[in-house]
Chains A and B, each alone.
Chain A
Amino acid sequence: MIMFMNNSDSEEEPCNERTSLMSAESPPVPSYQDGLEALEAGEAQAHRRRAAGGSRGPNNIAGGETSGSGVPVRERALENEEEELTLKYGAKHVIMLFVPVTLCMIVVVATIKSVRFYTEKNGQLIYTPFSEDTPSVGQRLLNSVLNTIVMISVIIVMTVFLVLLYKYRCYKFIHGWLILSSLMLLFLFTYIYLGEVLKTYNVAMDYPTLFIVIWNFGAVGMICIHWKGPLQLQQAYLIMISALMALVFIKYLPEWSAWVILGAISIYDLMAVLCPKGPLRMLVETAQERNEPIFPALIYSSAMMWTVGMAKPDTAARGPSQQTWDAAEDGREHLRSPSHAESQMSETRSPVPTRPVTSLEELEEEERGVKLGLGDFIFYSVLVGKAAATASGDWNTTLACFVAILIGLCLTLLLLAVFKKALPALPISITFGLIFYFSTDNLVRPFMDTLASHQLYI
């Protein structure tokens, strides 16, 4: 998952960008105007394929996992804009990401704690072929490491495949893949989820009603995510599909494998985004060369990006959206399975309402959106959801992981403001989350339980 600054679509944008959170003396950086958009695209990463359980058989259409956590934070500063204002936008951007991440986690934790289905063990995905039902600890550890290796290799293959497809401009393929992925997620997984929730609360629903509900939900979701729709509705759909994906992961990844995979994927993310030959970095650079925004899909964006650069008449304004659309197509193809498609949903599609852009200030306002790849949402929610599922009924562990992830996100955004280039959003948060999970579960829990049993407060 990458976070990075997003640049405006239009090169003719008269304003220069300045980095936010930098000291006032830093000069405006015109060069960012072009390439940054490409950075955004680079985030699309490995999609996780998640065949819905073993019963579906290998539904691995191509399950690369796109760990696209791109978070382009773009702080554009007007010529006479205050540093303070820039910084305020920095803090505002952090909150704009806190809210959806928190919402996604709340949905996942609420589901895990109430619906038994997602904590029952019902087979494994083919991406984790080794079983963990072995008697010895060493064997179990070995199996989980092997599972991780298999999963990460699939992700790497998928990401490389995506980069190649993007390089050779197979946009249609990407687009079709993405559509298939989101179809599966919006219809099938939602149907399963709704079924389980209804079962848990013992609510009866007849098939015609169910059909109408699922059909409407899915159709509106497809439109919002792939075409146009109100920003908040699009954001809501992206959050919901991230939560659904995370729930599938929580259900089908075996215990130890899940933790090792979380650790491995953050290392992979770090390398893929920062190493010169990393697939994600190459993706970003390719998009930069072509001057197109990469993979607007599969990215959660908190503001309308397309109004950027609309100081010009309609034709110019139309341009960026078309570009992004194509770029989104590119981003989609990497999705192998529907699961990652959704993870890669970006809402770039949606915010193209005709907005009369009048002043440059408005442009700047609108443009300051923060983007985070859906893969990041998914993995954050997997960590917190696993903590909720496996921490022996303890709420403290879940809360500690939640705070850890938020702090990691905050630090990553700070680094983003400092370095102003695509950054992986997983490593810091997942590291903090893992540390807090294991330490809270093993050290803090007995201490707090002892204190609570004597009604002692510290």
Chain B
Amino acid sequence: MGAAVFWGCSAIAFGPAAALVLLTVAAEPLRVIVLVAGAFFWLLSLLAASLLWFVWAQLSGREDAALLPLGAAAAVLLQELCRFACFKVLKKADEGLATLSEDGQSPISVRQMAYVSGLSFGIISGVFSISNILADSAGPGTVGIHGDSPYYFITSAFLTMALVLLHTFWGIIFFDACERRRAGGLGLVVGSHLLTSGLTFLNPWYEASLGPIFILTLCTGLWAFGTAGGSFHNVLKCLSCKQEPEGQVMLYSALQVPPEE
């Protein structure tokens, strides 16, 4: 507890996200707008899920814990539904931007929007999951005094980090699957999201929940990398920092007005 835990857990949970935002999103205004729009869509999904949960809890009259698996599954499905809605809206915006621009090219591609919206889903989801926990961690207290795990904060931080990255990857895969109309990709994204959420039900048995979630994150990351057009060859090329010779050379002389004879 205290400032060290607070800053440490914040850094663990949001370090990658902050780096991604600062390096790739913050400089471009359009991407920042897409970031905020994605967060808005996620909030809508959470609102719908909470409403559903509230109604269920009232109707069934049972205690909350028994309804949690259903509530979590509904929340996951609603999030993916809102991701689809986000895709539709962004696609429309992309078309609008393309018509507005002079050369018919939108200033932001669908792939970039997929990445930024996935990142925004991840960030807002992570923030909503962990902000209250972080606020509590800055104050006094003893973790797990009633017999719970003493590693609550740090495991939450790692889970949040995994979730942020997962949402980014899911965003890329999902948008790509929607673009190419492949139901397989959609199904896999929804399935892996449900799997992740389900694995967290195994907490505090962290070996069974954190381990597989991180493996899942890695696999989803590789899959998203492949979907976005990356390959082992690309990585090698990037690492070797070789400058590829230009395939086309613009001859300015060709553009000049021929001199008067």
Contacts from A to B (Cβ < 8 Å): 21-24, 82-84, 86-88, 91-92, 94-95, 98, 393-396, 399-400, 403-404, 406-407, 410, 436, 439-440, 443-444, 446-452, 454-458
Contacts and interface: CB of A to CB of B under 8 A. Distances in A.
A22 B30 CA distance: 17
A395 B131 contact: yes
A90 to B, nearest CB: 9
B165 interface: no
A457 B159 CA distance: 8
B132 A443 contact: no
A457 B163 contact: yes
A91 B30 contact: yes
A452 B133 CA distance: 8
What class of interface size applies to chain B in its complex with A? 35 or more
Contacts of A24: 99-100, 102
Contacts of A454: 65, 68, 201, 203
B107 A455 contact: no
A443 B50 contact: yes
Given A23-B100, A82-B101, A457 B200 contact: yes
B101 A458 contact: no
Contact of B40 (A83, A84, A393, A407): A407
B36 A403 contact: yes
Contacts of A404: 40, 43
B36 A406 contact: yes
Interface stretch (B69-77, B171-179, B221-229, B235-243): B69-77
Contacts of B46: 444, 447
B68 A446 contact: no
B64 A450 contact: yes
A451 B100 contact: no
Given A83-B101, A87-B101, A443-B51, A455 B155 contact: yes
Given A406-B36, A447-B54, A394 B132 contact: yes
A21 B39 contact: no
B72 A451 contact: yes
Contact of B152 (A406, A451, A455): A455
Interface in B20-56: 29-30, 32-33, 36-37, 39-40, 43, 46-47, 49-51, 53-54
B220 interface: no
B80 to A, nearest CB: 11
A227 to B, nearest CB: 31
Given A23-B100, A403-B39, A448-B132, 7 more contacts: A91-B33, A396-B128, A407-B37, A446-B50, A451-B72, A452-B133, A456-B203
Interface string B240-252: 0000000000000
Contacts of B53: 443, 447
A21, A82, A439 — which one has the most chain B CB atoms within 10 A of its CB?
A439
B103 interface: yes
Contacts of A451: 68, 72, 129
Nearest to B129: A457
Nearest to B55: A443
A92 B29 contact: yes
14 contacts: A82-B103, A95-B29, A95-B33, A394-B132, A403-B124, A410-B33, A439-B51, A440-B47, A447-B49, A450-B64, A457-B160, A457-B163, A457-B200, A458-B125
Given A87-B107, A91-B30, A406-B36, A452 B129 contact: yes
B43 A23 contact: no
A444 B50 contact: yes
